[in-house]
Amino acid sequence: MSASDQGVRTERPEDIRAVPVRRPGRWIVAIIVLVVAASIVRAVVTNPHFQWSVVGQYLFDSRILTGMVATIELTVIAMVVGILLGVVLAVMRLSPNPIVSGASWLYIWFFRGTPLLVQILFWYNIAALFPVIALGIPFGPAIVHGSANSIVTAFVAALLALSTNEGAYMAEIVRAGIISVPEGQTEAAQSLGLSRIQTLRRIVLPQAMRVVIPPTGNETISMLKNTSLISVTAYAELTYSAQQIYNVSFQVIPLLIVISIWYLALTSVLYVGQYFIERRYGRGFSRAQRATMASRWLALGRGGGGESAA
């Protein structure tokens, strides 16, 4: 066949129709998985101890919903403070000043090295350590002061514990993000006359975000669940609210199921949020947006259609 021949060909060649390879293994594995799944579902549905009717009764109980609002509040505030703290600590850690980077290292070492539950108890009992909290000149006179018990309420103690702990983890995540930005970016920005702060804010951090966001999503999900540890301080977040109910009614299992449902619902919402934030900071990093599972489902809902670049 000559070259000119190929150039004018218009009809499509016939597709190959071959006998597919038989894969009995796939069928066997699929059947095993389905049988196991069915037996788990059967056990869950038929076991009367799950008390599904009680679950339904408490799912929208006002005490549970109030507890959930408290959990969301704690998660959001502690995460925001934790992220800000993390950025500051990461920048400090990368500072050329050894005292500044050393201080950041020490902070991270301490807060990552002790259990969160212990830190929560410390903050909750801070009044035993510092009965009076004063704000003033170091080693000098105090300007404002008050009793620790009145300033550090259970809510404040919870926030302090969660956000200071989160700051240490976020610092490492942000630092990894900053390091991931190639040096040439900083040099290009500096050669244009941008200051160190401008370079950090306009060039380095926005690019670091792409690396920082997936683990931060992870952290937010952990945070949401770690708020349940706050129940030890008798602060009425979701888990403690459930405990209060089952301490009276003794319906422990159904109430644990109730809060598990809510925790799952909340983490699912976070999945969706993370997808959109990732897409926002992924701009300029791939020619066509990679079709993630979430986008494929969304596209399905809109009746198909791919994402375009930029």
Partner 1 sequence: MSTPMVLCEGVHKRFGRLEVLKGIDLEVGRGEVMCLLGPSGSGKSTLLRCINHLEKINSGRLSVDGELVGYREGDGKLHELHEKEVASKRAEIGMVFQSFNLFPHMTALENVILAPTCVKGTRRSDARERGAALLERVGLSDKLEVYPVALSGGQQQRVAIARALAMEPKLMLFDEPTSALDPELVGDVLDAMRQLAREGMTMIVVTHEVGFAREVADTVVFMDAGVVVESGPPAEVLGNPRHERTRSFLDKVL
202 binds partner 1 (CB under 8 A): yes
95 binds partner 1 (CB under 8 A): no
In the region spanning residues 239 to 268, those forming contacts with partner 1, defined by CB under 8 A, are none
Q: Which of 207, 231, 233, 239 binds partner 1 (CB under 8 A)?
A: 207
In the region spanning residues 135 to 194, those forming contacts with partner 1, defined by CB under 8 A, are 182, 184-185, 187-194
Q: Give which of 220, 213, 210, 202 is closest to 269, Cα–Cα.
A: 220
* Dihedral, 280, 284, 287, 290 alpha carbons, nearest 10: -30
Which CB sits closer to partner 1, 143 or 310? Answer: 310
39 binds partner 1 (CB under 8 A): no
CA distance 169 to 85: 10
User: From the CB of 220, what's the least distance to partner 1, in Å?
Assistant: 23
310 binds partner 1 (CB under 8 A): yes
Cα torsion angle, 278, 284, 285, 289, sign: positive
User: From the CB of 192, what's the least distance to partner 1, in Å?
Assistant: 4
User: From the CB of 287, what's the least distance to partner 1, in Å?
Assistant: 6
Which window, 118-126, 229-237, 259-267, 276-284, contacts partner 1 (CB under 8 A)?
A: 276-284
Contact 260, 267 (CB under 8 A): no
Residue at token pair 């009276």: 248
User: From the CB of 196, what's the least distance to partner 1, in Å?
Assistant: 6
Which window, 119-127, 171-179, 202-210, 227-235, contacts partner 1 (CB under 8 A)?
A: 202-210
CA distance 70 to 93: 33
291 binds partner 1 (CB under 8 A): no
Q: Which of 198, 247, 249, 260 binds partner 1 (CB under 8 A)?
A: 198
71 binds partner 1 (CB under 8 A): no
Contact 219, 75 (CB under 8 A): no
Q: Which of 54, 127, 206, 256 binds partner 1 (CB under 8 A)?
A: 206
Contact 100, 92 (CB under 8 A): yes
Which CB sits closer to partner 1, 151 or 176? Answer: 176
203 binds partner 1 (CB under 8 A): yes
* Site residues, partner 1 (CB under 8 A): 182, 184-185, 187-196, 198, 202-203, 206-207, 281, 283-287, 309-310
